Structure 1
Amino acid sequence: MEISLALLPIVVIFLLLFVLKQSSVTAGIISFFVAAVIAMFTPYFSLNLTSLFDATAEGFLLTVIVAYVLLFGIWLFHLMNEAGLIQTIAVHISESTSDPARQALILVIAFSPLVESVTGFGIAVIVIAPILIALGFPLFKAAVLSLVSLTAVPWGALSTGSVIGANLTGISIHSLGAGTALMSIPVFFYFTMITVFIVGGWKELRKKWFEIIAVSVALIGAIWFFSQFVSVELAGVFASLAALSVEMLFVRFAEKKQKKNDVVAVSETNVKDSLFKALSPYLLLTTMLFLSRLIPMVREWLNTHGIIELKKYAFELPILYSPGFFLLLTCLFAIVLFKLNVSLIRKSFIATIKQWVPVNVSMFGFVAMAQVMAYSGMTNLLAETGANKFGSAFVILSPMIGAVGGFLTGSNTGSNAMFIKLQVQTANLLNLSPELVAYSQNASAGHVTMASPSRVLLAAQVSNIRHEEISLLKMMVKIAGFALLLIIVEMLVISLFSQISHK
């Protein structure tokens, strides 16, 4: 009975999302209340009112860390969108080649991770799908490609999902980010290949095999390097720039476009100037974050000034060191540089709040639910049961659990909030590497969000194919399912090598 009760909050999420078709906001809040009632009023768990308050407070404070970043990340997107800058950037990139496969590589593999890394929560779909349609891609293909473009979700919204995961488990954010990157190596190659295959089939795959490898290596290498040695928050941004640079080299040298006259040259110069100006907010943000993480004197000052601290909950939020502060400065920079009027500023901020509030309410529900389950002993009970029932087979189950969370919530952050503590606790009981299990959770949750019903609905709406939503969902489940299979195989191989090395 106690195991069924401990599972009930998670089962409630399934029922609300898939049977009753409720929003993630409703699911998050109701699942939190269900966990609280079970924890306080059943004989199996002993959570008093004070402990419930502490668990809820910790959930709220963890949400605040992410909410601070999301607020200004989403606002930056809306400011740039209102100024027409997102279209300027994306159209310039897409029109640099007439080859559909290269257009897809530029937009889906190279450019989308930049948008998703700064904004998060599937906004890249809204940016990428309309551009692909404008370029002549069929509506269904454009929708599929826009969803596949969500390759860098574990680093989305300046790695807020990884930040939540690191805070809940105590694993270093650098370790979690770099480990997730290594776990994602075959997945990144797969998504690059599937992008080319969707556009041109086996013929294009054979024709562009070296290009696929080069772009994938640039993306993977940059994500791993910056996660490990510089800043996990910046990893997706720099990876996008690296992949974009490599792909543009292929465009330039493979197609060898001839400049016919000086008029064209002047026109291209003007376009490059406008592109640089449109990219300048991203460049400023990247530079500020880069310097704040690499210069010891700057890092120390930012980490010791403007600190919000609650010792009772071991909570600390360095206001000036957080990416949220640099996003705020970037928003102000964009307002001044592009001379946005009060009306546009107000419109963009209202749009931001409308998007920001439900995201944070649902995230609070999932995080607070996870904290109540941990405080009351539910998480420990489920971990012990999982360890006893599955044993070493948990290495296969672990990616599946992460994937279920990503599929349900459409969010790497939401999945980590629900499951990463449970996963790590189970790994410890089984003497498995808790870090490896955390990498698996973070990677599988992130890479399966592209098949989430909420993401699929968004792509169907943007691409004007609501009548094909079920077909689109089936297609994305297949694509994301194979990515999950790759992670499971990788976990099995690592586990086997670990067993052999210990003999």
Structure 2
Amino acid sequence: MEFVIAIAPILGIFILLFIFKQSSLRAGLFAYGVAVLITILTSSFALELQGVFHASIKGALIAFIAAYVLFFGIFLFHLMNKAGAIDNIARFISRSTDDKILQLLLLVVGFSPLIESTSGFGTAFLVVAPILIALGFSGMKAALIGLVSLLAVPWGALATGTIIGAESGNIPLQDLGLGSAIISIPVFVYFVIIAVYIAGGRRALRNKWKEVSLFLLTFSTSILLFNAYVSVELAGVLASLITIGIGLAVINIKAKNNEAIDDAPKPINILKAVSPYLLLTVFIMISRLVPPLEQFLNAHFVVELPEYEFSLALIYSPGFWLFVSCILTIMIFKINRKAIQHAFKATLKQWIPFAITTSAFVAMSEIMAAAGMTTLIATIAASLLGTGFVFISPLIGALGGFLTGSNTGANAMFINLQVQTAQQLSMPPELLAYAQNTGASHATMASPSRVMLGASLCNIGSQEGNLLKNMLFIVLGALLMIMMMVAGWWWML
């Protein structure tokens, strides 16, 4: 009976999302309310009101780390969209080559990870899917490929979900980023092969295997090295920029004798279009790689609340550099006040539900942990499954990603459970944290909210069921790969 009570907040999320078809926002608030009621009405998980308040505030503070970054990430996207920079990038890609598979590779392995890494929130899909339709792909193919292109979610909006996972699970950020990169590499290969197959079938895979291999090798190697040696927050951005650069070099070599390349936009145009991303990358790199500056940024304008084990260096956070990039974007593109206001309103419309939902999930998780609910669930799971839990771990993460459509929300819900279960089983907590982070991230592309948006954006509303079924099938394949990677890693330890 105690187990049923302990797991009730999580079950409540399922019931609201799937039976009553409610939003993640309402499900998160409901689950938080259930967790609070359990601490008040039961003796097994009793917490004083002060304990509930403390856990709730701690959860909101952890969520603020992500919200701070995502607000300016979303704002940067809307500013660039208002300035026409996104359209210019799209036109540049479409005019660089007539080869649809090369166009697709640029979008899926280069442009989409870049947008997702800087803006998060699945924003890349909103950009990539319309471009695919403009390039001649059907609505269903554009929706499928656009959703599959969300392969860089662990590093979305400068890795906020991964940062939340590291904070909540008490796992070093670099370890979580590098472990997630290692496990994700075969998943990258899988998703890109799926995208190329959707676009051109087996023939495209046979004819373009060299180009596919080059893009994958560039992106995978880059993201691995940048996680290991530079910055987890910047890994997605840098890997995307390098992939785009090498991809364009390959296209230029192939089109060297093609007169159609003369119609492409001048290099200065594309440099201006991507300049906010380039500046953002430079700012964050300098802040991480110049020790005196790093020390200064970490020592000034720091919000510290020791009673909540919370510390945030405001001007060291990627959120600050995104803010600076937003200001420079306004100046570079000379965006007028009305457009800025529209971009700000659009940002608030997306950001407020995310901030509330994430806060509710993290606060729920903190209350469950403080009241002993998470420990009980972990103990029972460990006793029932033993080391076989390693196979279930990615599915738990995927469940959170599928339900919430957010790596941040999923990590907030389940990473404490994963880490505590690992401790119960005397397994490395980091390994199950990797499973959680990757499973949650790669399952977000099949979340009902994303699929519904995809069907609407690509004007295939009548085929939403088929789109969801296809995406679930694709994500299931990725989860099987993650399960094998995690199990193999555990076996080698």
* TM-score class normalised by the smaller sequence: over 0.9
Aligned partner of 2:324 in structure 1 is: 329
Structure 1, residues 439-494: CA drift from partner, whole Å, max 9, x if none? Answer: 11101110111011111111111111111100000010011110001011112222
The aligned runs of 1:471-490 (5 Å cut-off) are 471-490=466-485
Whole-angstrom CA distance in 1 between matches of 2:197 and 2:242? 22
Whole-angstrom CA distance in 2 between matches of 1:99 and 1:219? 20
Aligned partner of 1:84 in structure 2 is: 84
Aligned partner of 1:426 in structure 2 is: 421
Shift, 1:175, TM fit: 0.8
Whole-angstrom CA distance in 1 between matches of 2:366 and 2:487? 30
In structure 1, stretches of 5+ residues that fail to align are 499-503
Aligned partner of 2:346 in structure 1 is: 351
Whole-angstrom CA distance in 2 between matches of 1:208 and 1:431? 46
Aligned partner of 2:294 in structure 1 is: 299
Whole-angstrom CA distance in 1 between matches of 2:359 and 2:257? 52
Whole-angstrom CA distance in 2 between matches of 1:76 and 1:194? 30
Shift, 1:278, TM fit: 1.0
Whole-angstrom CA distance in 2 between matches of 1:101 and 1:195? 9
Structure 1, residues 246-296: CA drift from partner, whole Å, max 9, x if none? Answer: 322332223444348xxx85x65x622111111111111010001000000
In structure 2, stretches of 5+ residues that fail to align are none
Letter in 2 for 1:202: R
Aligned partner of 1:501 in structure 2 is: none
Structure 1, residues 109-160: CA drift from partner, whole Å, max 9, x if none? Answer: 2110000001111111110111111111111100101000100001001111
Q: Is the 8 A contact 1:444 1:487 kept in 2?
A: yes
The aligned runs of 1:160-179 (5 Å cut-off) are 160-179=160-179
Whole-angstrom CA distance in 1 between matches of 2:87 and 2:258? 26
From 455, 460, 464, the equivalent of 1:460 is: 455
Aligned partner of 1:444 in structure 2 is: 439
Q: Is the 8 A contact 1:94 1:107 kept in 2?
A: no
- Give yes or no for the alignment of 1:34 onto 2:34: yes
Shift, 1:374, TM fit: 0.2
Whole-angstrom CA distance in 1 between matches of 2:244 and 2:19? 41
Shift, 1:207, TM fit: 1.6
Secondary structure at the aligned position of 1:290 is classed as helix
Q: Is the 8 A contact 1:94 1:106 kept in 2?
A: no
Aligned partner of 1:309 in structure 2 is: 304
Shift, 1:215, TM fit: 1.0
Whole-angstrom CA distance in 2 between matches of 1:482 and 1:246? 29
Secondary structure at the aligned position of 1:308 is classed as strand
Structure 1, residues 54-86: CA drift from partner, whole Å, max 9, x if none? Answer: 000100110111111111111101101111111
Shift, 1:103, TM fit: 1.1
Shift, 1:359, TM fit: 0.6
Aligned partner of 1:402 in structure 2 is: 397
Letter in 2 for 1:374: A
Whole-angstrom CA distance in 2 between matches of 1:490 and 1:196? 23
Shift, 1:91, TM fit: 2.0
Letter in 2 for 1:382: I
Equivalent residues, number: 493
Secondary structure at the aligned position of 2:311 is classed as strand
Report the aligned-residue RMSD. 1.2
The aligned runs of 1:84-123 (5 Å cut-off) are 84-123=84-123
Whole-angstrom CA distance in 2 between matches of 1:463 and 1:95? 22
The worse-fitting range, judged by mean Cα deviation, of 393-402 and 236-245 is 236-245
Aligned partner of 1:245 in structure 2 is: 245
Whole-angstrom CA distance in 2 between matches of 1:210 and 1:134? 26
Secondary structure at the aligned position of 1:321 is classed as coil
Aligned partner of 2:465 in structure 1 is: 470
Q: Is the 8 A contact 2:38 2:46 kept in 1?
A: no
The worse-fitting range, judged by mean Cα deviation, of 178-187 and 84-93 is 84-93
Aligned partner of 2:148 in structure 1 is: 148
Shift, 1:497, TM fit: 2.4
Aligned partner of 2:17 in structure 1 is: 17
Secondary structure at the aligned position of 1:171 is classed as coil
Aligned partner of 1:338 in structure 2 is: 333
The worse-fitting range, judged by mean Cα deviation, of 465-474 and 242-251 is 242-251
Secondary structure at the aligned position of 1:21 is classed as coil
- Give yes or no for the alignment of 1:361 onto 2:347: no
Secondary structure at the aligned position of 1:457 is classed as helix
Whole-angstrom CA distance in 2 between matches of 1:432 and 1:257? 58
